[in-house]
A and B are shown apart, each in its own frame.
Chain A
Amino acid sequence: MPFDAQLLIDILAIPSGVALIGALIALATSKKLPTWFGAGLTAIAWLAGIIIAQYKTLIPWEWWSEECWQRLFWPMGVAALVLGTSSLCCGNANWRLMMMSLVAWATAWLSIPRSSGWRDIDSLEGIWMLAIGVSTLLNGWLVERWISTKAPRWGIWVLIGGLGPPLLLAASAYGTMAQWVVSVVAATLGVAIVALFSPQGLAASIAAPLAVVISAMVAWGRFRSSTPSISWDNLPALFAPGIIALVDTAFAGRIPTWARILLAGLLSAGVIGFLYWRSMDGAAAET
């Protein structure tokens, strides 16, 4: 099989398929088993899809890699399990918001490269962590509020759309990191497909916090470029889910659903376009 075809299977088909099957089983058993069990099963399937993709593309595979971003599936797994199940068994939105922010923040902190070769960016660590904390809190608050009051069935797809900007950033980073991010988004899409059939159920409840967590984490990942310059143009990627939710909240009830979908898509595309334009501008300058 050609290398590219194998890669697409490994980073797209496998994670989305595994996550989708897990979420489907959770949905099918939701009337017979406790809701926390279904949410947990969905989270585990989501994580399993990502780990399998990583296992197939990273050579050699390590459970605790020397490369810190390759260890991120551990805090991501904790995030998925804690946030997914707590949203159903512990309905306190404020508590969940705090947990979501803490997990995203800790995950970002864990992903910071710390070998001696990165000393030149040490001084930026504090302000980056502040940006992560602020964006996660804001995204979490806006998305939670939006889901609980305004979100229609397609709402989950807007959250996925919010992943577009950080996905672009990570994809422009370097090979294995980009492949990893694509597999994370593919697994999230698998859950989101099931969420369409159960918008208020367990699948939606786990996908929403995950979208926020991933957004913060992946945007952070882009800072790991080997070129010594840091672009603050990347910051909009951190706030993309919150921006989309905020704008949608303002227009909810005043414009038809199709217009809200279009607006969310345009916002996401706008941030992506801005990042792409800045990226190309930087590449031209480098050349």
Chain B
Amino acid sequence: MIRSGALWAVALVVSLASSNTFAQQPLKLNKEKSKIDFLGKKTDGQHAGGFKEFTVDAKADFETPANSSLQITIDATSLWSDDAKLTDHLKNPDFFDVRKYPKITFQSTKIESEGEGKAVIHGKMKMLDKEVEVKVPCDVEMNEDSITLKGKWKLDRSKFGMTYGAGKIDNDVEITSNLVFGL
């Protein structure tokens, strides 16, 4: 989701910087340089994790940035964390229930410019069979051969019914995404 914001910001930036006209130009994700991570906090510590496998379908409309779109599909079974036992627990029904819900999806619905190099991407995130509206602030970085969307935001896990350890484990999970697209 973070990327979607960044992606859109990129689109905006590009549209301002270039006189070229494109209609929904697909962007190709550089998988090796991209990542989606999370940081969960609890009263006595924190754990880092993320997803190894995900696909991104990004289309940038450099003429009308609002027409750009971003769709992310995460393979929940590719979840990793900094502790092997925790990884197994996170995959179980207390958290992501990956056997039952193997996919996490995000579909952008609106992209807003927040000034140069910044954007906010609105979208619908579906996890654990629950769809929640989310808003992702993004930074957009461009160079000659790539566009990078960087997002860092907090997701309230309880909105998806993920309530295990409430009171001990924070509901807000810090999400960090770094999506790199080749030009």
Contacts and interface: CB of A to CB of B under 8 A. Distances in A.
Contact of A176 (B164, B166, B167): B164
A283 B99 contact: no
The dominant DSSP class at the A interface is: loop
Contacts of B167: 3
Nearest to A285: B84
Interface residues of A, number: 22
Contact of A225 (B43, B88, B94): B88
B38 to A, nearest CB: 17
A173 B94 CA distance: 11
A175 B89 contact: yes
B182 interface: no
A170 B101 CA distance: 22
B92 interface: yes
B99 A174 contact: no
Contact of B164 (A116, A175, A283, A287): A175
B163 A286 contact: no
A117 B88 contact: no
Contact of B84 (A67, A113, A283): A283
Contacts of A177: 92
B100 interface: yes
A92 interface: no
B49 interface: no
Given A3-B43, A3-B168, A286-B84, A174 B100 contact: no
Which of B88, B102, B168 has the most chain A CB atoms closer than 10 A to its own CB?
A: B88
A149 interface: no
Contacts of B166: 59
B: contact size bracket: 20 to 34
A41 to B, nearest CB: 34
Contact of B163 (A4, A59, A116, A287): A59
A225 B102 CA distance: 15
Interface string B155-183: 00000000111111000000000000000
A118 interface: yes
A4 B44 CA distance: 11
Contacts of B43: 3
Nearest to A286: B84
B20 to A, nearest CB: 45
Interface of A: 3-4, 59-60, 67, 113, 115-118, 172-177, 225-227, 283, 286-287
Report, nearest first, the 10 A-B pairs whose CB atoms are least far apart. Answer: A117-B99, A226-B91, A174-B92, A3-B168, A115-B100, A175-B94, A59-B163, A174-B89, A287-B84, A286-B84
Interface of B: 43, 84-85, 88-89, 91-94, 98-102, 163-168
Given A115-B100, A174-B92, A226-B88, 14 more contacts: A4-B168, A116-B100, A117-B98, A117-B100, A117-B102, A173-B92, A174-B89, A176-B164, A177-B92, A226-B91, A226-B92, A226-B98, A227-B88, A286-B84
